[in-house]
């Protein structure tokens, strides 16, 4: 499809048009198929390489834009998804907001609370939404877990323990590049930290944090953070890029324990198991299969359509950025590289 073919076609109810800034693997594998199943109208994808943009666009029936600025200039784009390297998020989120687009940023959105607040302020001044993509939160297993905890299935929550680790991959990859915002804390540590905030009742204090750096790579390859809220509920978050795969969290109360065995990256066809342990019995609860990426684009679309839904997403983005920055500062202040 050529750029000249992009004149919007009138519809009975004009669908929200979306473009993708960058052709990252996560965008091609998970986001694009989800967008095509969502209420959005996929308009265009952009890459700095015209050839790459055209290849992805041809496979998904949309237009190709050579360059990110060009995509922001195209007609019919109301919102953008940004799956660029972490170091590029703030720049392109700001440019997209200035161009009048709603923004979904791949996690982690930005590395600090001040930057997050500035982007949220800009979005609110323009009447726009900015949202961070933690797709795992849109899987129904987490709603199920929160309902069980709220209903007293494990009594009063005492602690959370979250773990996300993945095996090492090509050291030339983005996740190992310090200047692109790589490292274990940003790549995988953000998951258990974000999940913990669904259960802690207040902005948590960082009791301790540590990062292990690889001197050859120049980035952290593993780490841990210990958090506590004002009610004394603790959260232990462990993560790494040099581990066997593990993606889990458990919630320990005074009357039981709830374990999510595949918490962060279940496939769209998988039915994750929750294990509820109470006294001398264990109940295995099978969650429904769900495409969590379709879930996040549905939530994003809903908040684009409903201005009243945006404040919660803005709050969550700022809260997460602030906590991640405090964890990193604590870790770097407590040990030498």
Bridge partners (DSSP) listed for residue 222 = 212, 240
> Distance between CA atoms of 89 and 106, rounded to whole angstroms?
8
Cα–Cα separations (whole angstroms), residue 140 to 19, 149, 271? 27, 14, 10
Q: Which domain does 163 fall in, by range?
A: 140-289
Q: Where are the alpha helices (DSSP H) in 250-334?
A: 292-305, 310-334
> pLDDT means per 10 residues in the chain (337 residues)?
50 82 94 97 97 96 97 98 97 98 98 97 98 98 98 98 97 95 98 98 93 96 98 97 97 98 96 96 97 98 98 98 97 66
Residue 174 lies in a domain: yes
Residue at which a domain ends, from 112, 135, 158: 135
SS3 at position 117: helix
Residue ending a domain, among 118, 135, 152, is 135
CA-to-CA distance for 84 and 26, rounded, in angstroms? 10
| 153 & 102 share domain | no
Where among 271, 289, 307 does a domain terminate?
A: 289
Could you tell me if 15 and 128 lie in one domain?
A: yes
Same domain assignment for residues 199 and 264: yes
- Does one domain contain both 117 and 163? no
Residue-level pLDDT at 336: 37
Q: How far is CA 135 from the centre of its chain?
A: 5
CA distance 128 to 78: 10
Are 144 and 251 members of one domain?
Answer: yes
pLDDT the model gives residue 203: 83
Q: What is the pLDDT of residue 7?
A: 54
Name residues whose C-beta falls within 8 Å of residue 189's C-beta, 6 or more positions apart in sequence.
164, 223, 225, 237, 239, 324, 327
3-class state of residue 259 by DSSP: strand
Residue closest to 76 by CA, chosen among 2, 9, 123: 9
Total residue length of the chain = 337
Q: Is 107 a catalytic residue?
A: yes
The pLDDT of residue 2 is 47
- Both 73 and 206 in a single domain? no
Residue 268 main-chain phi, psi, to 5 deg: -65, -20
Tell whether 126 and 174 lie within a shared domain: no
Contact of 129 with 304, CB cutoff 8 Å: yes
Q: How many domains does the chain have?
A: 2
On whether both 147 and 125 belong to a single domain, the answer is: no
Residue 304 belongs to some domain of the structure = no
| List 107, 175, 212, 279, catalytic entry | 107
């Amino acid at each position: 499809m050529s750029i000249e073919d992009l004149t919007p076609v009138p519809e009975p109810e004009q669908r929200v048009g979306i473009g993708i800034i960058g052709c990252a693997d996560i965008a091609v594998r998970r986001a694009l198929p989800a967008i095509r199943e969502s209420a959005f109208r996929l308009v265009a994808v952009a890459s700095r390489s015209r050839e790459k943009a055209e290849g992805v666009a041809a496979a998904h029936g949309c237009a190709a834009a050579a360059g990110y600025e060009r995509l922001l200039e195209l007609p019919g784009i109301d919102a953008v998804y940004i799956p660029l390297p972490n170091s590029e998020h703030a720049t392109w989120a700001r440019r997209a907001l200035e161009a009048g687009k709603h923004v979904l940023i791949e996690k982690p959105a930005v590395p600090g609370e001040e930057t997050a607040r500035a982007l949220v302020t800009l979005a609110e001044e323009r009447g726009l939404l900015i949202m961070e993509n933690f797709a795992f939160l849109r899987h129904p297993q987490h709603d199920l877990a929160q309902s069980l905890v709220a209903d007293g299935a494990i009594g009063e929550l005492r602690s959370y323990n979250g773990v996300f680790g993945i095996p090492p991959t090509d050291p030339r990859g983005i996740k190992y590049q310090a200047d692109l915002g790589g490292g274990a804390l940003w790549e995988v540590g953000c998951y258990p930290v974000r999940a913990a905030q669904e259960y802690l009742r207040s902005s948590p204090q960082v009791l301790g944090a540590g990062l292990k750096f690889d001197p050859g790579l120049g980035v952290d390859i593993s780490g841990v953070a210990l958090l506590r809220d004002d009610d004394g509920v603790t959260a232990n978050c462990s993560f790494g890029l040099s581990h066997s795969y593990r993606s889990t969290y458990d919630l320990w109360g005074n009357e039981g324990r709830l374990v999510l065995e595949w918490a962060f990256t279940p496939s769209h066809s998988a039915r994750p198991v929750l294990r509820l342990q109470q006294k001398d019995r264990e109940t295995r609860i099978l969650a429904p299969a769900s495409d969590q990426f379709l879930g996040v684009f549905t939530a994003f679309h809903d908040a684009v359509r409903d201005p009243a839904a945006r404040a919660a997403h803005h709050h969550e983005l700022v809260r997460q950025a602030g906590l991640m920055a405090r964890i990193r500062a604590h870790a770097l202040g407590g040990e030498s590289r």
